Amino acid sequence: MNNAFALVDCNNFYCSCERAFNAALHNKPVLVLSNNDGCVVARSNEARALGIRMGQPAFECRELIEQHAIQVFSSNYSLYADMSDRVMKTLATFTSRLEVYSIDEAFLDVSHVGAEHLLDYGRQIRETVWQCTGIPVSVGLATTKTLSKIATEVVKQNPPSQGVLNLTHYSEAELDELLDSIALKDVWGIGPRYTNRLQASRNIFTAKNLKDADEHWIRKRFSVMVQRTVLELRGIACIPLETEPKPKKGIMTAKSFGRPVESLAELEEAVATYTARAVEKLRNQESAACCISVFLTTNPFQHDAPQYANSLSRMLPFPTSFTPDFLNVALDLVRSMYQPGFRYKKAGVCISKIVSQEVLQADLFGDYSLEREYKKARLMAMVDFINRWWGQNTIFFGAQGIGQEWKMRQERRSPRFTTQWGEILVVRT
């Protein structure tokens, strides 16, 4: 049986999520902004056609927004994460082997489908995702993950393909012609550093050039991952599906404040909130950790204001996923770093030294109590269950504060239709 992979990529995902609950946005230019409504992080095809760039500051687009009545939204991460989960669950009905690659992309093993039926299968995937979620997707079919990635990028620029491109039936000459049109920097797994080195050393400028390169020289001069890319471009599948997500080795939560923060009390609230969220992510992957780092910084772009930045780390006695244990340390670190007279722009928390909960190592001197840790785990499991059922922060720690006036700006955020009962979509007749 020949290998066959499908890469399913949600089109303009954040914008598509907004359109799924607002039919008036279809065929209209749409933008989604980053934290604090600062920069463009998603744009519809109509907005792209107007010349708006990814990452462009929102204030630079103000004239175009007014002139073309562009619909602008703050990032609605709760909605996007839930819609992503719905898309992935829909895709899982098409195969038993699925790799969730990112919030809007997934690889599917479709080797069980006959070669003559692959194109129709891809179209069925696209139609089903649209019917179940309202999210348009592009589907690239090929014999390797790298080629399916290329197919998906090509199909987005080729409207006659109707969102699905099957490379498995391409002849070698047809595939070479396609790869010759793909710039080296656009090949999956080849970043800017490798691009510059490959171009300088062997005049490799396109995907076709890379495919024809000496794989042994590539491995010797670069890495086994680049060698695998060469083989994948030749149709030899050597990058396997990762059907089980790997636990993260580090978890960071960091956000800019909605306004400058000067008081220690507000900094403590922010760091406590970020710590609680990071430890929740730690529990979600069934892990524990014993190191926490906290950083504070002022706005480096505000040149007329005094600048300050600092970070501290501390080890816990043994790995844990009990939020209060981390909160106590994080707040102590903030108090050690805080300097009055500065206008702080951003803070963040990073948790590291992560291990599986199944292989916790107790301490040598007996401070670790299995019974006490079991009670802590039960308490946090109940908190997580309530927050999943009733919505995030239904139960939270007092150190996180109530008003949280420092929170990032989301003045244009749409309702969280699928995760908050109070914001559920209402249809009036």
d(CA 192, CA 156): 23
Q: Is the pLDDT of residue 423 over 70?
A: yes
Beta-carbon contacts of 169 under 8 Å, excluding residues fewer than 6 positions away, are: 115, 118, 119
Model pLDDT, residue 273: 96
Model pLDDT, residue 155: 93
d(CA 429, CA 394): 32
| 263-278: pLDDT as tens digits | 999 999 999 999 999 9
| Mean pLDDT value across the chain | 92
Local confidence band at 366 (pLDDT 50, 70, 90 cut-offs): low
CB 348 within 8 A of CB 294: yes
Q: Is the pLDDT of residue 60 over 70?
A: yes
DSSP class of 116: G
Alpha carbon separation from 165 to 48, 245, 371, 418 (Å, rounded): 23, 27, 57, 32
Model pLDDT, residue 26: 93
Q: Is the pLDDT of residue 1 over 60?
A: no
Model pLDDT, residue 344: 95
Q: Is the pLDDT of residue 235 over 60?
A: yes
pLDDT (mean) for 379-383: 94
Token digits for 357? 């909960």
Pairing of strands 71-74, 98-102: unpaired
CB 343 within 8 A of CB 262: yes
d(CA 106, CA 33): 24
C-beta atoms surrounding 59 within 10 Å: 11
Token digits for 9? 């990529």
Strand partners, 43: 31
pLDDT (mean) for 161-175: 92
Map tokens 């002849």 to a residue: 171
Strand partners, 355: 288
Within the chain, what is the greatest distance between any pair of CA atoms? 70
Local confidence band at 364 (pLDDT 50, 70, 90 cut-offs): low
Q: Compute φ and ψ for 56, nearest 5 degrees.
A: -70, 135
| 78-116: pLDDT as tens digits | 999 999 999 999 999 999 999 999 999 999 999 999 999
What CATH number matches the domain at 251-400, 3.30.1490.100, 1.10.1040.10, 3.30.70.3270, 3.90.950.20? 3.30.1490.100
Q: Is the pLDDT of residue 428 over 60?
A: yes
Local confidence band at 291 (pLDDT 50, 70, 90 cut-offs): very high
Model pLDDT, residue 361: 64
Beta-carbon contacts of 422 under 8 Å, excluding residues fewer than 6 positions away, are: none
Domain extent listing, the chain: 251-400
Q: Is the pLDDT of residue 362 over 90?
A: no
Token digits for 340? 């009055």
| 113-148: pLDDT as tens digits | 999 999 999 999 999 999 999 999 999 999 999 999
